[in-house]
Structures are given as structure tokens and as C-alpha cells.
Amino acid sequence: MRAEILTIGDELLRGEIVDSNKAFLSDRLFGLDIETRFHVSVGDDPRDMEDAFRRAAGRSDVVLVSGGLGPTRDDLTIEVLARTFGRSLQVDQASLEGIKAFFARFGREMAPNNAKQANFPQGAEVLPNPIGTAPGCLLEESGTLFFCMPGVPRELHQMMDEQVLPRIAERLAGAEGRPVVRTALLRTFGIGESNLDAELADIAREGGVSLSFRTAFPDNYLRPVARGATASEAEAKLARVCDAIRERLGPLVYGTDAESMEEVVGKLLREQGKTLAVAESCTGGLVGERITAVPGSSDYFLGGVVAYADRMKAALLGVPESLLLKYGAVSEPVALAMAEGARERFGADLAVSTTGIAGPGGGSEAKPVGLVWVGFSGGDENAAQMFEFPLDRSRHRMATAQVALDWVRRALLGEERVALRYLRRSR
């Protein structure tokens, strides 16, 4: 089944909003072993919309349309779809009453233009929208299924899961000869995209198996895809390629699918019954924020100190003033002292620290912008390492926070603390 996703709206082409609907819809289709062949966006121009509808009908079996179902003058999806395929518009009385009831629940009077949201092309099947005023519809034209859904993500998500996917699955039921597709997402940190490709040059060469790469700073993602005549065949192929990747890359692979670094770290801390504290300077609380974004993090995270000023490093973390005067805040001794101070003050099993120059100013020849020290204290080990991240301020903080979390992960796994092949170590 060839699938296409068509999103409509001037705001998409102007860059006013990020078109997250495409990614959501493609992901949901993949759950039915349907790979999306085309992503298309058009503005609210009727001629462009009609052209997009005709192209989609000529090359795709299912077309998911998002946007343009609202009540305003620029919401033209249903009207243009009907005109494109020579269908008249008809009022669906049940939808009209539902829209009126929606406004009544909130004690509001329905504007006259909301009534057009109950108009649908002749022969279309209405798709209810229980949380908004814009019902969707399914129109079949010459064997192509057009599913029209609202552009509001919350409404689109519910309609896709409750109305669209079941109808597509019903069409697929009993179809013979369809290949089964299985996929996984492997998250890596500490190796660049081109190095990943070179490292895995001989991996995923089996028939029906492919491997794609994607950068999502500061990580790189691997997407192995396996196809087979049966589910068991596809799953076996996928398992083999994932095992081969993990064996080759080792701890560079930190998670799968939606697992974030902080979730992986939290799971390891909980499993090992250990606690964590953080001491942050250049990251300004970002490490602690990420850790506490995970539900249940109070099981293992004791707290953190954001000590930006030198006197706060001394007062709150016990960093000796002599070290600050002699070596400066961005130095190995201070990074070590920060981690040790956080661990002692919170009574944690492990602690990690960050101190650096995120820029754009504040650097010098001896300590350039981008320089950062990450410190670690845990068990019998205290360690610090200097990195240089020639990045903008935002990405510098993101990379530093990721290194700090990765150090905790590697410590819990008994692995080397530093990944050498991506983010630069300095001297």
C-alpha cells in the first residue's frame, strides 16, 4: 500500500509552525507495515490544493490529509476536495447538531460560519471528532482513500487512532502477498554520523534489510528496517541486525526507540539502588532538569546545586578558594571539587559536575570559548576530563549535559567514562 501525507496551510509554508503532523502520521502508518512514500505541503491556494489532490490520487493508495477543516474563509480542504473529483457538497445533519452541542456545552453561541464544518463531499463517510468542532471524512476516489483530518495535533491524534487506523487495517485484513515490515530505532552518543556509517559498513547487507542514519544533536540515530514474507521472518532479520550493531558499537548505543539518556540513567540507578547528585555551572541546571523530567526520579535523584559564581562554588560546594584562585573555575581541580562537594553534601552514591565557557564571550587564548570540564565522583573513583565544543551557546550546554549523563551511565555499566570518537577531548 502506497501512502502519502498531505498537510495544508499557509502557516506551514511560512514557517510559523513546525509541521509535526507528518512525523506522527508516518509513524502511525508504519505500525501497520505501511511505509509513507510522499510528504507534501501546500498553502491555502485552491489551485495548488487541487493539483496536490490529483497527484496523490494518481500515485497513492491512501492519502492522509491534515488541515483546512476549520470555519474560516481560508479553510478550504473539503470544498476543494469535492470540486476536484466532481462531487457536490452535502450537509451532514448529525455533524451540524454535534457542532451546535459543542458550543452549547461551553455556553457559547455558534457563529454562522461554523456550519460549513458539517459539509462533506457526496459519498464521503464522516469521521467524528469528539474533542473539536471539525469532523473529518473518508472519501474514496478511483481506489484511493482520502482521509481528511483536522490540523490541530490533539484532535488529529485521536481521530487517527480511533477512526483512521481501524479503517485502514480493515482494508488490509486478508490481503495476500503484502511484505511485513519491522523496524527499530537505536540511539547512539559519542560517534559521528559518517563514522557510524564507516563502522557499520558490512552490517545490514542481508536481503530485505536496510539501515538509515539520522543526526538529532547531540545524538545520532540508527534505523534498521527488515522486510519479510511473514512477521516472524521480518522480526528475526531485525533481531540479527540489531544484535550485530550492538556487538560492533558496544556502549555507544545507549537506548532504543523513545528512550532518552536521562531515562536510561534513571533506570540503571533504580535497578542498582544508587543515588545521584549534580553540581552545575555552565549548564545552569540543565542536567538536573533533564533528570527530573523523568517520572519517579525522586527514587534516585537527591538534588543539585547550580553554582554559577565562584563564591557560590566555594560556599555551596566547598570548593577551596585556593583552587579557584590558582586554576580558575574552568579547570580539572575545580570540576573534581564540585563533584566531590555535591556527593558529600547530598550523601549521594554518585555525583557529576559541569564547568565551562559556553560563550559567545568570556574566552581567552588559554581557555577558549567552548572549553568545558566534566567531573565525576563515585565509589573509589574521582575523575575529570576536558572537552572543547566549538558550538553555539545552546548546543554547548546540550552537549555538556549529555556528556555528564553519559558519564553516569557508563559508570553504572562499568564502562570507560569518555567516548573518544565524537565530542572532542582537548589535549
Query: What CATH code is carried by the domain that includes residue 146?
Result: 3.40.980.10
Residue 236 has phi, psi (to 5 degrees) of -65, -40
Task: Round the average pLDDT of the chain to a whole number and report it.
Answer: 93
pLDDT, tens digit (0-9, with 9 covering 90-100), for 191-227: 888 889 999 999 988 888 989 898 889 999 998 989 8
- Asked if residue 419 has pLDDT above 60, the reply is no
- pLDDT of res. 179: 74
Residue 292 has phi, psi (to 5 degrees) of -80, -5
- Chain centroid to CA 183: how far? 16
pLDDT, tens digit (0-9, with 9 covering 90-100), for 100-129: 998 998 888 899 999 999 999 999 999 999
Cα–Cα dist 121/164, whole Å: 17
pTM: 0.76
- Asked if residue 346 has pLDDT above 70, the reply is yes
Is residue 21 very low, low, confident or very high in pLDDT (cuts 50, 70, 90)? very high
Tell whether 283 is covered by a domain: yes
Residue pair 71/114 in contact (Cβ under 8 Å)? The answer is yes
- Chain centroid to CA 266: how far? 19
Cα–Cα dist 310/383, whole Å: 21
Residue pair 78/121 in contact (Cβ under 8 Å)? The answer is yes
- pLDDT of res. 77: 97
Question: Which residue in this structure is represented by grid cell 468542532?
Answer: 133
Tell whether 427 is covered by a domain: no
Asked whether residue 294 falls in the same domain as residue 148, the answer is no
Can you name the residues that pair with 186 across neighbouring β-strands?
Answer: 222, 256
Asked whether residue 114 falls in the same domain as residue 34, the answer is yes
Query: What percentage of the chain has pLDDT greater than the value 90?
Result: 78
- pLDDT of res. 177: 65
Asked whether residue 45 falls in the same domain as residue 161, the answer is yes
Can you name the residues that pair with 209 across neighbouring β-strands?
Answer: 226
Asked whether residue 190 falls in the same domain as residue 161, the answer is no
Tell whether 381 is covered by a domain: yes
- Asked if residue 388 has pLDDT above 50, the reply is yes
What mean pLDDT do residues 249-254 have?
95
Please say which residue of 172, 193, 225 terminates a domain.
Answer: 172
Cα–Cα dist 111/90, whole Å: 19
CA dihedral sign, ordered 5, 7, 13, 18: negative
Tell whether 426 is covered by a domain: no
- Asked if residue 334 has pLDDT above 60, the reply is yes
- pLDDT of res. 418: 61
- pLDDT of res. 231: 85
- pLDDT of res. 423: 52
Burial class (CB in 10 A: 0-12, 13-18, 19+), 80: buried
Please say which residue of 138, 172, 206 terminates a domain.
Answer: 172
Alpha carbon distances (Å) from 308 to 8, 274, 289, 376 = 46, 27, 16, 18
Asked whether residue 23 falls in the same domain as residue 89, the answer is yes
Is residue 7 very low, low, confident or very high in pLDDT (cuts 50, 70, 90)? very high
What mean pLDDT do residues 45-50 have?
98
What mean pLDDT do residues 123-146 have?
95
pLDDT, tens digit (0-9, with 9 covering 90-100), for 268-284: 999 999 999 999 999 99
Asked whether residue 299 falls in the same domain as residue 184, the answer is no
Domain containing residue 190: CATH number: 3.30.70.2860
Tell me which H or E stretch contains 62.
strand 62-66
Question: The domain containing residue 306 runs over which residues?
Answer: 261-413
Please say which residue of 172, 196, 212 terminates a domain.
Answer: 172
Largest CA distance in the chain: 83
- pLDDT of res. 337: 98
Asked whether residue 25 falls in the same domain as residue 165, the answer is yes
- Asked if residue 234 has pLDDT above 70, the reply is yes
Is residue 85 very low, low, confident or very high in pLDDT (cuts 50, 70, 90)? very high
Tell whether 425 is covered by a domain: no
Alpha carbon distances (Å) from 204 to 142, 219, 239 = 38, 21, 11
Asked whether residue 320 falls in the same domain as residue 303, the answer is yes
- Cell numbers given for 246: 550492538
Tell whether 84 is covered by a domain: yes
Enumerate long-range contacts of 175-181, CB under 8 Å, 24 or more apart: 178/1, 178/33, 179/33, 179/208, 179/227, 179/228, 179/229, 179/234, 180/33, 180/227, 180/228, 180/229, 180/230, 180/231, 180/233, 180/234, 181/30, 181/33, 181/35, 181/225, 181/226, 181/227, 181/234
What mean pLDDT do residues 159-174 have?
88
Asked whether residue 35 falls in the same domain as residue 143, the answer is yes
Residue pair 183/238 in contact (Cβ under 8 Å)? The answer is yes
Local structure of 12: helix, strand or coil? helix
Which residue would you say has higher pLDDT here, 106 or 173? 106
Residue pair 304/350 in contact (Cβ under 8 Å)? The answer is no
162 DSSP 8-state letter: I
Strand 371-378: give its sheet, edge to edge: 301-306, 276-280, 350-356, 371-378, 381-388
Which residue would you say has higher pLDDT here, 136 or 423? 136
Average the pLDDT over each of 21-25, 162-166, 284-288, 419-423 and give the range with the smallest value.
419-423
Roughly what angle, to the nearest 10 degrees, separates helices 332-346 and 310-317? 40
Asked whether residue 153 falls in the same domain as residue 232, the answer is no
Query: What percentage of the chain has pLDDT greater than the value 70?
Result: 96
What mean pLDDT do residues 313-332 have?
96
Asked whether residue 151 falls in the same domain as residue 268, the answer is no
Asked whether residue 31 falls in the same domain as residue 151, the answer is yes
Structural domain tally of the chain?
3
- pLDDT of res. 292: 98
Domain containing residue 342: CATH number: 3.90.950.20
Tell whether 420 is covered by a domain: no
Tell whether 408 is covered by a domain: yes
- pLDDT of res. 344: 97
